[in-house]
Amino acid sequence: MSIVECNVWPKKIEIVNSNGEILNDRIIGPYDQGTDLTLICLADNDPFIHTSVIWYDENNTKIDSTFCTESNGLWIRNELILKNLTYEHLNAMYICRGWNSHDDIRKHQKYIPTYIQLNVNLRPRQIRIVLTRESMYPTSKMYDNDSLILIADHLVEFECIATGFHPSIEIHWLLRSKNSQLIDIDLHTNTPIIQFIPRIEYDGNLLICSAMNLKMINPV
């Protein structure tokens, strides 16, 4: 009689967070950018069978194969720690797979692996100010912390372009004077486009577009 070792799936696989909440097969979050997230994959343990629990990414690349048996002996555990959540983690999928090595595959049944997908609150990656009224200023271009010569008491229109955020942002326009005093010039709350009449006393001031994700604990 020969012994054949087969890779088969355990009967139960669960993904839980550090509080023990089951997260199987769904989108989880949202989590704020910059935070850490611990995901724990658990597979039921048979003392007579060698069980492996391994994490993969959505491209089927193995990312963590360090598993151990919990002290109660009931579960095989693999803990995946995601540090400093950022743009690359948005919509990322993490799959946990487990299998047993046993000499009799007929005693076991294959089970579908479990997964989670991340939802992450993100600050804007880039913010730019665009001068939009070419009729008044023929050489329209992007301005990013640059100086711009304007004509006093002549209407200009600026647009604030923010990219990389999720899911939404709130925009405000401000002027920072030479003595660092902030002046709110946004007459229409949360608008990316502002029509602005520069005054002589604004010479040397900074025009600021503030784009914040208010769904985050620290939106700035």
pLDDT tens, position by position, 195-209: 888 888 888 888 888
CA distance 70 to 203: 67
Each domain of the chain, given as residue ranges in start order, spans 6-121, 126-212
Residue 84 pLDDT exceeds 90: yes
Look at residue 151 in the predicted model and tell me its pLDDT.
80
Burial of residue 46 (CB within 10 Å: 0-12, 13-18, 19+) is: middle
CA distance 173 to 158: 10
Domain 6-121 of CATH type 2.60.40.10: yes
pLDDT tier at 186, thresholds 50, 70, 90? low
Q: Which residue has the higher pLDDT, 57 or 130?
A: 57
- Considering the chain, what is the average pLDDT of its residues? 82
* Most confident listed range (43-47, 91-95, 130-134): 91-95
Look at residue 193 in the predicted model and tell me its pLDDT.
87
142-143: strand order across its sheet = 142-143, 126-131, 156-163, 193-196
Domain 126-212 of CATH type 1.20.140: no
